[in-house]
Amino acid sequence: MVERIMVVALDMDGPVVDLPPSHDVVRRSFKIWLPATKGAAEGIQYLTEQPDVDLLGIFTKRSRLITQRQTEKQLERFAIPVPVEKVVYTANSSVRKLKAFYLAVAGPEIEVFKGKIVCPENVGQIVLYDDSYRSIIEASKKLAREEPHFSLLQKVFTLVAFNSRQPEKLKRESIPGVVHIVTMQDWTENEIALTNVRKRIR
Protein backbone atom coordinates (compact mmCIF):
# COMPACT_ATOMS: atom_id res chain seq x y z
CA MET A 1 0.00 0.00 0.00
CA VAL A 2 1.30 3.43 -0.97
CA GLU A 3 1.91 5.80 1.94
CA ARG A 4 0.17 9.03 1.09
CA ILE A 5 1.51 12.49 1.81
CA MET A 6 0.28 16.05 2.06
CA VAL A 7 1.58 18.39 -0.62
CA VAL A 8 1.61 21.85 0.93
CA ALA A 9 1.87 25.38 -0.45
CA LEU A 10 1.87 28.71 1.37
CA ASP A 11 0.59 32.14 0.53
CA MET A 12 3.19 34.85 1.12
CA ASP A 13 1.05 37.66 2.53
CA GLY A 14 -0.52 36.60 5.81
CA PRO A 15 1.16 33.29 6.60
CA VAL A 16 4.71 34.62 5.99
CA VAL A 17 4.57 38.41 6.23
CA ASP A 18 2.16 40.45 8.30
CA LEU A 19 0.18 42.81 6.10
CA PRO A 20 -0.53 46.40 7.23
CA PRO A 21 -4.08 47.80 7.43
CA SER A 22 -5.97 48.28 4.17
CA HIS A 23 -5.54 52.08 4.30
CA ASP A 24 -1.73 51.69 4.12
CA VAL A 25 -1.82 51.46 0.34
CA VAL A 26 1.89 51.97 -0.35
CA ARG A 27 3.15 49.19 1.92
CA ARG A 28 0.37 46.81 0.86
CA SER A 29 1.01 47.42 -2.85
CA PHE A 30 4.81 47.34 -2.88
CA LYS A 31 5.29 44.95 0.09
CA ILE A 32 7.88 47.19 1.73
CA TRP A 33 8.78 47.54 5.43
CA LEU A 34 6.64 44.56 6.38
CA PRO A 35 7.34 42.47 9.49
CA ALA A 36 7.30 38.70 9.56
CA THR A 37 4.12 37.03 10.74
CA LYS A 38 4.67 35.88 14.32
CA GLY A 39 5.86 32.27 14.41
CA ALA A 40 6.17 31.96 10.62
CA ALA A 41 9.78 30.75 10.45
CA GLU A 42 9.24 28.16 13.20
CA GLY A 43 5.88 27.05 11.79
CA ILE A 44 7.23 26.58 8.28
CA GLN A 45 10.30 24.79 9.63
CA TYR A 46 7.92 22.41 11.42
CA LEU A 47 6.27 21.65 8.08
CA THR A 48 9.62 20.80 6.48
CA GLU A 49 10.35 18.34 9.30
CA GLN A 50 7.18 16.29 8.86
CA PRO A 51 7.84 13.01 7.00
CA ASP A 52 4.39 13.08 5.40
CA VAL A 53 4.62 16.69 4.17
CA ASP A 54 6.09 17.85 0.86
CA LEU A 55 6.41 21.64 1.09
CA LEU A 56 6.11 22.57 -2.56
CA GLY A 57 6.74 26.27 -2.13
CA ILE A 58 5.09 29.67 -1.91
CA PHE A 59 2.29 30.50 -4.34
CA THR A 60 1.51 34.20 -4.16
CA LYS A 61 -0.73 36.70 -5.92
CA ARG A 62 2.18 39.14 -5.86
CA SER A 63 3.51 40.41 -9.17
CA ARG A 64 6.97 39.13 -10.07
CA LEU A 65 7.72 42.39 -11.91
CA ILE A 66 6.92 44.63 -8.96
CA THR A 67 7.70 42.60 -5.85
CA GLN A 68 10.19 39.81 -6.66
CA ARG A 69 13.15 41.62 -5.08
CA GLN A 70 11.19 42.48 -1.93
CA THR A 71 9.88 38.93 -1.66
CA GLU A 72 13.32 37.36 -1.90
CA LYS A 73 14.76 39.80 0.65
CA GLN A 74 11.91 39.05 3.06
CA LEU A 75 12.44 35.29 2.82
CA GLU A 76 16.12 35.77 3.60
CA ARG A 77 15.63 38.34 6.35
CA PHE A 78 12.94 36.33 8.13
CA ALA A 79 14.87 33.03 7.77
CA ILE A 80 11.95 31.36 5.99
CA PRO A 81 13.07 27.85 4.92
CA VAL A 82 11.73 28.11 1.36
CA PRO A 83 14.21 28.63 -1.51
CA VAL A 84 13.51 31.70 -3.66
CA GLU A 85 13.23 29.50 -6.74
CA LYS A 86 10.20 27.86 -5.15
CA VAL A 87 8.17 31.08 -5.19
CA VAL A 88 5.43 31.15 -7.83
CA TYR A 89 3.97 34.58 -8.71
CA THR A 90 0.41 34.64 -10.04
CA ALA A 91 -0.19 38.39 -10.48
CA ASN A 92 -3.28 39.08 -8.41
CA SER A 93 -5.31 36.03 -9.42
CA SER A 94 -6.49 33.33 -7.03
CA VAL A 95 -7.62 31.21 -9.98
CA ARG A 96 -4.12 31.33 -11.48
CA LYS A 97 -2.71 30.52 -8.04
CA LEU A 98 -4.84 27.38 -7.69
CA LYS A 99 -4.18 26.25 -11.26
CA ALA A 100 -0.43 26.71 -10.86
CA PHE A 101 -0.53 24.76 -7.59
CA TYR A 102 -2.58 21.90 -9.04
CA LEU A 103 -0.34 21.61 -12.11
CA ALA A 104 2.76 21.60 -9.89
CA VAL A 105 1.24 18.78 -7.84
CA ALA A 106 0.39 16.82 -10.99
CA GLY A 107 4.06 17.01 -12.00
CA PRO A 108 5.90 17.52 -15.28
CA GLU A 109 4.41 14.41 -16.88
CA ILE A 110 0.71 15.04 -16.39
CA GLU A 111 -1.48 11.96 -16.55
CA VAL A 112 -5.01 12.45 -17.87
CA PHE A 113 -7.90 10.00 -17.50
CA LYS A 114 -11.24 10.64 -19.23
CA GLY A 115 -10.36 14.30 -19.67
CA LYS A 116 -9.34 14.82 -16.05
CA ILE A 117 -5.88 15.43 -14.61
CA VAL A 118 -4.95 12.53 -12.36
CA CYS A 119 -3.69 13.19 -8.85
CA PRO A 120 -0.43 11.31 -8.16
CA GLU A 121 -1.06 8.07 -6.28
CA ASN A 122 1.05 9.06 -3.27
CA VAL A 123 -0.76 12.39 -2.72
CA GLY A 124 -3.43 12.12 -0.05
CA GLN A 125 -4.14 15.83 0.37
CA ILE A 126 -3.31 19.02 -1.50
CA VAL A 127 -3.06 21.78 1.11
CA LEU A 128 -2.89 25.56 0.77
CA TYR A 129 -2.24 27.85 3.75
CA ASP A 130 -3.85 31.15 2.77
CA ASP A 131 -5.44 34.09 4.57
CA SER A 132 -7.28 35.21 1.42
CA TYR A 133 -9.67 32.37 2.03
CA ARG A 134 -12.72 34.09 0.57
CA SER A 135 -11.05 34.53 -2.80
CA ILE A 136 -9.73 30.95 -2.70
CA ILE A 137 -13.22 29.59 -2.03
CA GLU A 138 -14.62 31.61 -4.94
CA ALA A 139 -11.73 30.55 -7.20
CA SER A 140 -12.39 26.91 -6.28
CA LYS A 141 -16.05 27.28 -7.25
CA LYS A 142 -15.06 28.89 -10.55
CA LEU A 143 -12.65 26.08 -11.40
CA ALA A 144 -15.30 23.48 -10.56
CA ARG A 145 -17.75 25.19 -12.93
CA GLU A 146 -15.46 26.11 -15.78
CA GLU A 147 -12.47 23.74 -15.69
CA PRO A 148 -13.70 20.31 -14.56
CA HIS A 149 -10.44 18.67 -15.68
CA PHE A 150 -9.10 19.74 -12.26
CA SER A 151 -11.84 17.85 -10.40
CA LEU A 152 -9.71 14.90 -9.26
CA LEU A 153 -7.26 17.33 -7.69
CA GLN A 154 -10.00 19.44 -6.14
CA LYS A 155 -11.42 16.29 -4.56
CA VAL A 156 -8.40 16.17 -2.21
CA PHE A 157 -7.90 19.93 -1.79
CA THR A 158 -7.86 21.42 1.72
CA LEU A 159 -7.70 25.15 2.34
CA VAL A 160 -6.09 26.02 5.67
CA ALA A 161 -7.78 29.36 6.29
CA PHE A 162 -5.07 31.35 8.05
CA ASN A 163 -6.10 34.12 10.47
CA SER A 164 -9.69 33.00 9.99
CA ARG A 165 -12.60 34.88 11.52
CA GLN A 166 -15.68 33.01 12.76
CA PRO A 167 -13.94 29.66 12.27
CA GLU A 168 -16.93 27.44 13.04
CA LYS A 169 -19.07 29.24 10.49
CA LEU A 170 -16.26 29.20 7.94
CA LYS A 171 -15.72 25.44 8.25
CA ARG A 172 -19.38 24.92 7.29
CA GLU A 173 -18.61 26.53 3.92
CA SER A 174 -16.64 23.46 2.82
CA ILE A 175 -17.91 22.11 -0.50
CA PRO A 176 -17.39 18.35 -0.98
CA GLY A 177 -15.27 17.63 -4.03
CA VAL A 178 -14.34 21.31 -4.44
CA VAL A 179 -12.73 22.68 -1.26
CA HIS A 180 -12.47 21.42 2.31
CA ILE A 181 -11.78 24.11 4.91
CA VAL A 182 -9.63 23.81 8.03
CA THR A 183 -9.26 26.93 10.15
CA MET A 184 -6.11 28.22 11.82
CA GLN A 185 -5.87 31.47 13.74
CA ASP A 186 -2.07 31.67 13.74
CA TRP A 187 1.04 29.49 13.66
CA THR A 188 0.48 28.24 17.22
CA GLU A 189 -2.35 26.12 15.76
CA ASN A 190 -0.20 24.57 13.03
CA GLU A 191 0.02 21.12 14.60
CA ILE A 192 -3.74 20.98 15.18
CA ALA A 193 -4.44 22.04 11.60
CA LEU A 194 -2.13 19.37 10.20
CA THR A 195 -3.75 16.72 12.39
CA ASN A 196 -7.15 17.71 11.00
CA VAL A 197 -5.84 17.46 7.44
CA ARG A 198 -4.30 14.04 8.12
CA LYS A 199 -7.71 12.72 9.12
CA ARG A 200 -8.85 13.24 5.53
CA ILE A 201 -6.19 11.00 4.02
CA ARG A 202 -7.71 7.67 3.01
Tell me the per-residue pLDDT of 141-150, one tens digit each, with 9 for 90 and over.
Answer: 999 999 999 9
* Contacts (Cβ under 8 Å, ≥6 apart) of 157: 125, 126, 127, 128, 140, 178, 179, 180
- pLDDT exceeds cutoff 70 at 30: no
Sequence-ordered strand ranges (E) for 49-193:
53-60, 87-89, 112-113, 116-117, 123-130, 157-162, 180-184
Write out pLDDT tens, residues 94-128: 999 999 999 999 999 999 999 999 999 999 999 99
Query: Residue 1 has what pLDDT?
Result: 64
Mean pLDDT of the chain: 94
CATH superfamily, with its number, for domain 5-198: HAD superfamily/HAD-like (3.40.50.1000)
pTM above 0.85, yes or no: yes
Beta-ladder partners of 132: none
Phi, psi of 44 (to 5 degrees): -70, -35
Query: Residue 14 has what pLDDT?
Result: 94
Tell me the mean pLDDT in the region 86-90.
Answer: 96
